[in-house]
Structure 1
Amino acid sequence: MNLACLPQTQCPLQHHVSLAELTTLNVGGSAEWFVAPRTVAELQAAYTWAQEEALPITVLGAGSNLLVSDRGVAGLVISTKHLRYLKSDLETGQLTVGAGYPLPKLAHYAAKLGWRGLEWMVGIPGSVGGAVVMNAGAHGGCTAERLVSAVILEPDGTLAVVSARELGYAYRTSNLQDTQRFVLQATWQLEPGYDPAQVKAATQKHLSDRLRSQPYDFPNCGSVFRNPQERTAGWLIEQTGLKGYQIGRAQVSEKHANFILNCGGATAMEVYHLIRHVQTAVADRWSVWLHPEVKLIGDFA
């Protein structure tokens, strides 16, 4: 329901908006307040309004890698889905991209130019903002390798340009996680000058490999757990005998054990309990505690 627009903007401010359809798992409750800015100025206005109203802020990108509570999310949810601008510098081989730009689309765009470096992105169902925050990666590549800089909305409402070195990157993490600093755009340094057909072929191979090895037949949030150093999370879960294990309508994928599927009508709490069951069972068997890659949003008490 549209109640109004953000002050000094034409950006609709909505109340009680369902988030289930905005996440790849298709579970979860509603946002207390919701906006989807189309410009950086509107995003700043949303941030300012939330601060003035003393509301917590949650940023929602492509909705992957998230588990939203059935009870919903208090405060203001800011969607970056409209921040999809892209600028390519043909002289330097740099791409500057808005936070809401989908990673698969970005990979295909770079391939069409004959620019190498983002082929690994093609099968990741996320967006640029999330990739920068969590150092997304696949097939041996990751965000930290190619990122030049990012534009960040700071807690005081100002904009800052930060280099990749300043983001404290490590495996699937950065110093942006669990902060009130939000990614608005990112600049990537690629390798131009290659035959587009070759880059397209490499990109398509990555996509084909993911389609063959990972489940796409039911809603899911991507990889649920980070890989420990010695073994992959999927191997540990499979060797614990949990492939196909189900709580309610939430199931450990039989195709890839590091994925949890919504088999139709699952609740966020069922997914949550399945995550905890997997962690406990793997710890009992291997003395390894699996740390979630998926981010929990809202109340799971």
Structure 2
Amino acid sequence: MTPMLINLPSGSEIQTQFTLSDLTTFKVGGPAEWFVAPQSVEDLQASYVWAVENNISATLLGAGSNLLISDQGLPGLIISTRFLKHHNFDEQTGRITVEAGKPLPKLAKQAARKGWAGLEWAVGIPGTVGGAVVMNAGAHGGCTADNLVEAHVLNPDGSIEILPASALNYTYRSSILQQDRRPLIRAVLQLQPGADPKVVQTTTQTHLSHRLNTQPYDWPSCGSVFRNPLPRSAGWLIEQAGLKGYQLGGAQVAQKHANFILNCGHATASDIFNLIRHVQHRVEQEWSLSLHPEVKMLGEFFEVA
């Protein structure tokens, strides 16, 4: 039985069979069974409760980076946080309260202009605050766990629960929120105000320039595909296995940085998935090491032998 659609507080609508490829940085993926882009936290609450009451799974979609969506699309309700960008700088405490859809690079640049130190590491990460909190995003020796004070999540009845950072069990690129399916709606971050804005901006720009100079941006990608199996980096292992430039369908291991897979204009999600598996198998053969994907794969995928 098809669930009855609802009117959201802002007038936003829940849509059916909404194509998701344009909302991911890989530019691949099939349609969402149900889709909504809430204009407010109240919209998000109403959408989530609607899904719970109709026994429909709900998945949040931020910037669509670090994500590979199946060509078959996704069941359930996909909730895009792209309009949830409100933030507040508290001058008394040095804390930023920010909604889940706020792009992390923009927030890092705004903090730098104010002379608030602590987010310089985040300027080149192509994701949202919500995604960063869930996966403990990091770069340049910093990570979300260094800044997070608390995370606000939605309970199935629509109420908001505040989780202290200590409750998230942060480890390398991981948190308890990856198993806890409750949507993250906002976060509170601690920074250090009062620094010289020029100094913070210089450090921020240095990190951004390093990223632009060492990583490929000529074709769509998801950012780094694999976690780094210390002490070696995933990119070094893949390069030493002779896989730079290796192509499968429209997907290619980047020449500039081997831990990137590129959509060279006509890749399918299946191409990318099978290239990921090929890289894993080759590195396993060469180094007896398992590469674990950092990219989150949603939907059904089938490995081609």
- TM value normalised by structure 2: 0.96
- Report the Cα distance in structure 2 between the residues aligned to 1:156 and 1:237, rounded to whole angstroms: 46
Q: Aligned residue for 2:254?
A: 253
Residue 30 (1) aligns with residue 28 (2): no
Alignment of 1:1-301 (within 5 A): 5-6=6-7, 10-301=11-302
- Partners of 1:154 and 1:180 within 8 A in 2: no
- Report the Cα distance in structure 2 between the residues aligned to 1:214 and 1:155, rounded to whole angstroms: 40
- Report the Cα distance in structure 2 between the residues aligned to 1:78 and 1:68, rounded to whole angstroms: 14
Structure 1: 5+ residue stretches without partners:
none
1:107-149 alpha-carbon deviations (Å, 9 max, x no partner): 0000011010001111010000000000000000000011111
How far apart are 1:47 and its partner, in Å?
0.8
- Report the Cα distance in structure 2 between the residues aligned to 1:72 and 1:126, rounded to whole angstroms: 21
RMSD: 1.3
How far apart are 1:57 and its partner, in Å?
1.2
- Report the Cα distance in structure 1 between the residues aligned to 2:234 and 2:268, rounded to whole angstroms: 23
- Partners of 1:5 and 1:11 within 8 A in 2: no
Structure 2: 5+ residue stretches without partners:
none
- Report the Cα distance in structure 2 between the residues aligned to 1:154 and 1:239, rounded to whole angstroms: 47
Give aligned-pair identity as a percent. Answer: 59
- Partners of 1:6 and 1:49 within 8 A in 2: no
1:198-233 alpha-carbon deviations (Å, 9 max, x no partner): 111110000000000001111000110001122111
- TM value normalised by structure 1: 0.97
- Partners of 2:16 and 2:35 within 8 A in 1: yes
How far apart are 1:156 and its partner, in Å?
4.1
How far apart are 1:81 and its partner, in Å?
0.6
- Report the Cα distance in structure 1 between the residues aligned to 2:10 and 2:83, rounded to whole angstroms: 15
Residue identity matched to 1:136:
A
Report how many residues are paired.
Answer: 299
